[in-house]
Structure 1
Amino acid sequence: MTGPSAAGDERHAEQYDVLLVEDDDGDALLVEELLHDTDLPYTLTRCHTAAEAHRALAAGRVDCVLLDLHLPDASGLEIIPTIQADTHAAIIVLTGLDEPRAGVESLAFGAQDYLVKGKVEPDLMQRALRYAVQRKQAELANAALQIGKLRAEENARLERGLLPEPLLSSAAVTASSRYYPGRAQALLGGDFLDVVQTGDGQVHAIIGDVSGHGPDAAALGVCLRIAWRALTLGGHRDQRLLRLLEQIHIAERAGSDLFTTCTLITLDPGAGTLTLHLAGHHEPLIVTPDGTREVAAAHGIALGIAPGVGDWPATTLALPADGALIAYTDGLIEGFVDGSGARLGVDGLLRIIDTLHTSDPGTHLDRLIARTRALNADRHTDDLAVLRLDWHTAGAAVPSHSS
């Protein structure tokens, strides 16, 4: 049923979709007449049972439920939470004259208001319906605000675990990083990175990606990042370090299907060398005065794929006196370009970098990420982490080689 004021009345911006759940034909007719006499634009759907109400709520939008507490298939205040489970609509309980406490008690069960049958005038119906909808919307907005606040707090805690402050003692090397979750308002995922400089002057870095999303991946990422920092500062290096990380990965992962890709980076300013170990991860990019290119590096399998049998050869190359290394996770290059169906890929990333002209590393990363996300129309679904190491050193030139 549609109220006569629902059509052609432009005085009202609101439109109320009302669901009446009432098995008594006389009471239902009374409610229909009251709504007809209000100044509200509305549509009205009637259900005779709770089961019909559940189906109606699943089928379409409802702004307000006018709910009788005595139905053929359900009775009492317990009906309210079952209706709430199916909708974000406001609920106004319809009580009888012989139920003086039911209305007040219904508020404790989650209803926004109550009306006593036989004591309702059109003005009261209009005010009750409008204010109930407004209160419900305010409750939902406040709940969303609280959820957003809790998610932001959780992200802040995860960020401290996944993205710590670099431990760098020399101004010759600087580190810049960025992290974006794969979905708007989502928790950070399992991507992680870290940078430390040891007493011998070497700068060690890791960037990694735990498969999957959500709290399990994030928890494992935090665990591996902390373990890497402790083991690196404790003197563990290269393949031995990766074997220890794989043991920790297996012991801490929530499911046997989880694996981790990562890249170990060792930058030695004194020797002028850069050493990489790739565990299922793609090659980083090196930025030199001559341009940006992908590093050709040897590969090993991801951690957790074949426990105990992994081999991760080292790739060492000479550092130019000035340059940068950009390491990243899949989320940066796996997006599609302008809805064309073609993924950005490394070649597309290099083309973007060629158009970015800024000397500030942080600004460079911001512009790079902004361009990749714009090309993908912000439809990013995978988390992305990017680490950039910049150096200024006159280190000795050492030929590139893999071992």
Structure 2
Amino acid sequence: MQELILVEKFSKLFSEAGFCDEIKQKQIIEEMNDLLGKMDKEEFESSLSKELFDQINTMIEEKKISEGNAFILLKEIGYQNSLRVFPNYNYKYSTLKKRFDKMIYDEERIIKGGNETFIVDLSECYLLLRNFFQFLPLQLVSVCVPCLLKIATNKKENEKTQKEVELALMALCNVGILVEVEKDFHQKEITEIIEYHQEHRNLTHLAYQLAWSFLIDRFFRDESLEALISDKLHFTREATQELEEMSKRVDWKAKGKTEENKRMKEVNIMLKWICTINVFFVSFQMWKEEYFGLIDYFISLCRSSRAYEQRISGKCMVLFRRAIELNDVSVYDLLKRGVFKQISEEIYLKTMNDTTARMCLESFFDLSKRLKGIMTNEVDEMKKKEIKRELFDMLEEEGHEDMIPSFHATISLRFNKYRVEFSLNFEDYFVNV
């Protein structure tokens, strides 16, 4: 019964909201928003039913809730939704979504007659609640993105402004990687936001991550941004500093609901950073020595968090696998820094899920491809044999010396589908010992 207290209180306040004046209604909605921030994952999911979104739509139609107050509630729902990376399928099939779809396509109101506040409110609600596979209307990109960027460039440091900046940046990030946004709509403004924060530290930790996320997502489509991101704005340095600072604040052993919720918010921001870093690593053209700093940090993070938060280890494994795939990254450097040892240790964890297990095994799969071929930076045959022997010794010490041959045997069906040619000769991957 204890677990349902917040859900029941939220439901009770919502039922009261339709029977009071606009000022009182706003106060009730602010109480509801406060409750949303205190809910755990199960409570949050339980509160956001399809019926709730349908009722909000009905209340707007019957003028039992003002459009402005509805926006306040829905923006907070969307904010918490995006922070927790919770796919809200209940909203997707609600009448409220149909209402917002219709409003977004109302060109007369959006482009000709809509005031800026309305455009920002509607854009934030629409983007924060949207499904990532949902088609994004052209007018939302061409009209709303510049409005949201204008909000995001506000440099005031009071709490109200910082929350508005967070909301605007989070909505912009929900535009998605695959949606093309013209440089005129983003590059100058987002660069200014990042540079100003680097000098004045005016953003929250979350807002700073979101600013980077929006820019990195554009990089996914525009490789010309690499020099700006890497050399001028120093992405990897900034990301490493932010993650290290957050790691020091996280209480992995937190007990009690309040402490656990605080830990989960920090973890969710860290996960967002790691996902953004992974998008960057997929998109860049040249490996730089400074990127090894991130590798070192993630090895340390995996070890400190793996007993408490498996999601972090899973995201780190994606980054390790990407490094292993790159021909201009030295396998020897990865070996010496402990990447393969970390991956092999991960496989023994009782908390490991299927996704992380697959990523670990496929990392060894990619490693075996590197060892079978001619490795860039390691073309000398004696050097290759030295690397193979050290890897074999490490795997033998961990009890994984048969991993690659057995992995080949079990994965053959999957890779036969894609016609991957693969030798099962053990000598191709490790020297005979």
Relative to the length of structure 2, the TM-score reads 0.21
- Larger relative contact order, structure 1 or 2 (CA cutoff 8 Å, min sep 6): 1
TM-score normalized with structure 1 length: 0.22
Greater fraction helix:
2
Higher percent of residues as strand: 1
